[in-house]
Amino acid sequence: MTDIFMSIDSILGNRDALIQSIEQNLETPPLTATHDGNSSTQELNRGQLMMKEEQLSSQLHDLNNLKILSGLLIEFKTNFELLELENCFYSLQSIRKRINGNNNSSFLKQSFHFQRSVAVYVDTMHSTLIDKIFEIITTKFWQINDTGSIAFHKKITYGPEDIDLEYESFIDFVKQQYFPQNVLDSQLWIISDMDINDLQENVRGKLQTILKSYIHLNVVIDRIKKSIFTKGKMFDYELGKLLFKDVSNITDNQSLLQETIASFTSLVRFFQDILIEDDCITVLTSLGNVISNELTKLVKQNASVILNDNSPLKDRIIEVSKSLVKLADRTKNQWHFNDSEILNILNNEQIYFNLMLDKKFNEALEYMRDTIKNDGSISEVETVFLKRDSKRKSESDSNANESAKKIESQNSSKKEPDDDNWNWDDNADDGEGDDAWGDEIDLDLDDLEQNENQSQKEKDKTNEDHAEDDWDNAWGLDDDITDTVPTTNASHQGTNIEINKLPQLFETAVERLNKSVSIMDQAKIDQQYYNYKFNVFQSSFVAMCSCHFQENWWIFYNNLRYIGQKNPSLQRIEELSQNYLRKEIALNEKRVFKLIQQQLNSLLENENNVSWHIVTRQLIPFIQQHIIDPLVKIGGKEGEDNLLQLLNFIYFTSTVDVILTWKVISEKNSENLSELFTLLLNDSTIPLLSNLPKYKELREKFSIIGKILPLHLKEIMDLFYDGDFYLFSTEEIAQWLKLLFADTPLRRNAIEDIYEIRNTNIAD
């Protein structure tokens, strides 16, 4: 590159000689050959002279432009040596315009080797400038040690000439010129105009580091935040440096508290005395709330020591709080700090006692957390007998009734209005009325004793004498029969359940809590606040322990039931246990619904090549292992009710109700769906529910749907005439016929027969 400068200077250095040479060239006439071969001076061709003049003028213009480029290169070098980095930026920008801008024709006329040499040299200038800026910011203005300290200097002396640099003006220029939108723009000329990839990546990487670590101050924020949350790490302030020191060897709580308050004081002094206003805003916007929260927590946890009459710690806390208020004012409302909470703690006696309660509740939680973590015997399982007191029995029966009504309402939601009578009285004269209800009851409760069936038939006969009896009354009859189903004595008295040592741990923690609270001045304890904290304590216990029962969630639920039974006053535990059960069932039902929909969609998409892997390998094992088995182990009335709701969800909500939204069921899919119903029925048998009428009704209705799917219309109507559809409303039967068969006179006649027999008006 030095040779380039010397060549340009040698040409342009003696301007007078250059002009004289051009004039001599203009005065010398060109030699032309005569026709006779003799040389003679001919008259100058005016056109040739003009072309020659234009050519020489262009060369002179190009040489002048190259001289300007040479001057800019020298100017950059001089400014760089003087650390005039702002001027270096502008010189480099002008150079780029000369070689990359619209007015770069003089440069492009030069040889490729010349152009390439200049381009490489200018790329090196880019990298050199950014390297110098990076060095000054990261090693001179800021000095951040990985473990030891953070030092910052607002003014430095740098270079062999001891040049003074001020941080504020220096960083302002860097922000404005290199990060005009407070982000690194890869299309900025300082990056995009470079040709050499390695140098370009060096420039981009160092600018990115400057932006993130020293303009956004991430490196400062991260180091301070890490020390705040690292046990045994404190701050110290000394000679403009924020020092990190290790106090893990201090075991005395009083000394450790003093060190912590001193650490907050040092951190606040560093912000006040060292950081410029913009950097203070940047740091406090990210760290301000962390610092204020940690200071408030420190005061709450150590209120008894800080508020001691002989302790100077209270005044030191107030001093730190006031300093934070001043720092908040410097941020121009970008961060707010209200010292009223800390002052209230320091001056309000009731808050002090509330904080003492907080501490004792936290100690009880820590005791349980440590025991769960370190005591392996806590997971040992044992079997206990869970009693059903009158209150729980009443609540369970109420829930059971609600569950039965919910299931029943879904099964009969499409029934006709109340005046939709079966009119069995019309057949009374034929002697058939006595058997009509009885046959259907036998289908539903075929395992009842003969005398119960006979008693029920007599009741049915009495009902048939009333013209107002309708289809819905049949369900009322089933409810009466349900009451006659025998239940085991264990079901009345309670059930055996499996628990682990968690209830014992909770009981011990509560005893320790009560003992520690009893030594406080009871007259100064706010009972309402105590009750609130005890509810929070129960919620924290459930949240803390639930994560340890991902696979055997039913044991955790049994733990909560057992705790609630031993102490009925723990209403929050009772509420949380029910919420936990609902949440687990809902999550599992969501998975079941998704798998069934995947199988149904596969039937719609490929009915001729059906795969049952989703059902046999995923759905059925999941239902058995994650829902049915746990609910059976929960046992009792509660387990039975949830099992019934589960079957209703699988059979009807996830399967039947979805199929009823289809426009049509093809003949092939009729067979496929029948197979699906069979698979679901065969693998969802629950012996625990075998004596429950509602269980039989759910399976009976689902079985009938699976049975009719592949049948012809005549066969379905024969089943209807035989009374097999007693669990279905008229609208349900009609809807299935519309899905299974095309709109033909035969189908219309069948539907009309159904409405006529059931004495129902056809809606459409």
Q: pLDDT digit string (tens) for 252-302?
A: 888 899 999 999 999 999 999 989 999 999 999 999 999 999 999 998 888
Q: Write the pLDDT tens digit of every residue in 11-65.
A: 555 556 655 665 555 555 554 444 444 444 444 566 666 776 666 666 666 666 6
For residue 60, the model assigns a pLDDT of: 66
pLDDT tens figures, 665-695: 999 999 999 999 999 999 999 999 999 999 9
Is 324:268 a contact under the CB 8 Å cutoff? yes
Cβ atoms of residues 562 and 498 within 8 Å: no
Q: What's the angle, vertex CA 671, arms to CA 667 and CA 676, rounded to 5?
A: 140
Q: SS in 3 state form for 205-264? A: HHHHHHHHHHHCCHHHHHHHHHHHCCCCEEEEEECCEEEEEECCCCCCHHHHHHHHHHHH
487 pLDDT more than 90: no
Domain 2-29+46-110, CATH class in plain words: mainly alpha
Where do the H-state alpha helices sit in 683-758?
693-708, 713-721, 730-740, 745-757
Give Rg (Cα) of the chain. Answer: 45
Q: Which long-range contacts (CB under 8 A, 24 or more apart) does 149-154 make?
A: 149/241, 149/242, 149/243, 149/244, 150/220, 150/223, 150/224, 150/241, 150/242, 150/270, 151/240, 151/241, 151/242, 152/240, 152/274, 152/275, 153/240, 154/274, 154/276
Q: Which amino acid is at 373?
A: K
**Closest residue by Cα to residue 316 from 261, 273, 269:** 261
Task: Indicate whether 636 pLDDT > 90.
Answer: no
124 Cα distance to chain centroid: 46
Average pLDDT of every residue of the chain: 80
Q: Could you report the per-residue pLDDT of 439-486, keeping only the tens digit for each?
A: 322 333 333 333 334 434 433 433 333 333 333 333 333 333 333 333
Side chain identity, residue 316: R
Per-residue pLDDT for 418 more than 50? Answer: no
Distances (CA, A) of 645 to 224, 414, 445, 595, 718: 54, 19, 20, 18, 32
Q: What are phi and psi of 324, to 5 degrees?
A: -65, -35
What is the total residue count of the chain? 764
Please name the helix (run of DSSP H) or strand (run of DSSP E) that holds residue 97, with its range, or none.
helix 85-100
Q: Is 379 exposed, middle or buried (0-12, 13-18, 19+ CB in 10 A)?
A: middle
From the number of C-beta atoms within 10 Å of its C-beta (0-12, 13-18, 19+), residue 377 rates as exposed
Q: How far apart are CA 239 and CA 557, in angstroms?
A: 60
Place of tokens 């299309």: 187
Q: List beta partners, residue 39.
A: 33
Q: How far apart are CA 488 and CA 492, in angstroms?
A: 7
What is the C-alpha to C-alpha distance for residues 696 and 17, in angstroms, rounded to an integer? 118
Write out the residue limits of the CATH 1.20.58.2230 domain(s) in the chain. 219-347
Q: Provide the β-strand partners of residue 384.
A: 497
Cβ neighbours for 167, distance < 8 A, ≥ 6 positions apart: 141, 152, 153, 154, 155, 156, 276
pTM over 0.75, yes/no: no
Joined together, the tokens standing for residue 111 give: 């040889």
Burial, 531: exposed, middle or buried (Cβ in 10 Å; 0-12, 13-18, 19+)?
exposed
Flag whether pLDDT at 710 surpasses 90.
yes
Residue whose C-alpha is closest to residue 697's, from 742, 655, 648:
648
In this structure, are residues 350 and 303 in contact, taking their beta carbons and an 8 Å threshold?
A: no
| Distance (Å, whole) CA 312 – CA 322 | 16
| Cα 564 to Cα 594: distance, rounded to the nearest angstrom | 34
In angstroms, the CA 742 to CA 748 distance is 10
Structure tokens at 594: 């998704």
Q: What is the DSSP letter of 139?
A: I
DSSP string, 633-679: HH-HHHHHHHHHHHHHIIIIIIIIHHHTTSS---HHHHHHHHHHHHH
d(CA 467, CA 461): 12
CA distances to 9, 197, 254, 524, 739 from 114, rounded to whole Å, are 15, 20, 75, 90, 84
Alpha-carbon gap, residue 715 to 710, rounded angstroms: 10
**Binning pLDDT at 50, 70 and 90, where does residue 99 land?**
confident
* Whether the Cβ atoms of residue 235 and residue 270 lie closer than 8 Å to each other: yes
Helix (H, G, I), strand (E, B) or coil at 198: helix
| 457 close to 437: Cβ distance less than 8 angstroms | yes
Contact call for residues 636 and 393 (beta carbons, < 8 A): no
Where is mean pLDDT largest: 87-101, 243-257, 384-398?
Answer: 243-257
Which residues make beta-bridge pairs with 32? 40
CA pair distance 436, 79, nearest whole angstrom: 110
Q: State CA 548 to chain mean position distance.
A: 21
- Measure the CA–CA gap between 637 and 402, rounded to whole angstroms: 13
Token representation of residue 413? 């939601």
**Which CATH class, in words, describes the domain spanning 219-347?**
mainly alpha
Please write the tens of the pLDDT for every residue from 570-629. 989 999 999 999 999 999 999 999 999 999 999 999 999 999 999 999 999 999 999 999
- Contact between 252 and 239 under an 8 Å Cβ cutoff? The reply is no
- Sort residue 636 into left (φ over 0), alpha (ψ -120 to 50) or beta: left
- pLDDT higher than threshold 50 for residue 69: yes
Mean pLDDT of 237-259: 88
Q: Average of pLDDT values for 323-339?
A: 91
Predicted confidence (pLDDT) at residue 104 exceeds the cutoff of 80: no
| Cα gap 746→715, rounded to integer Å | 13
Q: Which residues pair with 497 in a beta bridge?
A: 384
CB atoms < 10 A from the CB of 308, how many? 12
Confidence of residue 231 (pLDDT cuts 50, 70, 90): confident
Amino acid at 211: L
The runs of H, that is alpha helices, within 547-570 are: 553-566
Q: Among 163-177, 369-383, 428-442, 454-468, which stretch is predicted with the lowest mean pLDDT?
A: 428-442
The whole-number pLDDT of residue 505 equals: 94
Residue 370's pLDDT band, with cuts at 50, 70 and 90, is: very high
Average pLDDT over residues 618-647: 93
HSE-up (13 A, CA, CB side) for residue 512: 16
Spatial CB neighbours of 74, under 8 Å, sequence gap ≥ 6: 5
Residue with tokens 């206990």: 384
Q: Which residue has the higher pLDDT, 761 or 360?
A: 360
Alpha-carbon distance of 37 to 34, in angstroms, equals: 5
pLDDT at 521: 81
Query: Cα(626)–Cα(651) distance, rounded to whole angstroms?
Result: 17
What is the model's pLDDT at position 427? Answer: 36
CATH 1.10.287.3290: which residues of the chain? 2-29+46-110
Amino acid at 231: K
Q: What is the structure's pLDDT at 263?
A: 94
> Which residue from 592, 588, 645 is spatially nearest to 614, judged by alpha carbons?
592
Helix (H, G, I), strand (E, B) or coil at 11: helix
Q: Which residue has the higher pLDDT, 124 or 311?
A: 124
100-127 average pLDDT score: 76
The four Cα atoms 22, 23, 25, 29 give a dihedral, to 10 degrees, of 160
pLDDT band at 411 (very low <50, low <70, confident <90, very high): very low
Report whether pLDDT(329) > 50. Answer: yes
Provide the terminal-to-terminal Cα distance of the chain, rounded to the nearest Å.
95
Average pLDDT on 561-570 reads 90
The partner residues of 382 in beta bridges, in order of sequence, read 499
The predicted structure's pLDDT at residue 130: 95
Q: What is the DSSP letter of 497?
A: E
More confident site: 678 or 308: 678
What's the gap between Cα 568 and its chain centre? 37
pLDDT at 325: 93
**Both tokens of residue 227?**
């020390």
pLDDT of residue 678: 95
For the stretch 495-532, pLDDT in tens is: 889 899 999 999 999 999 999 998 888 888 889 999 99
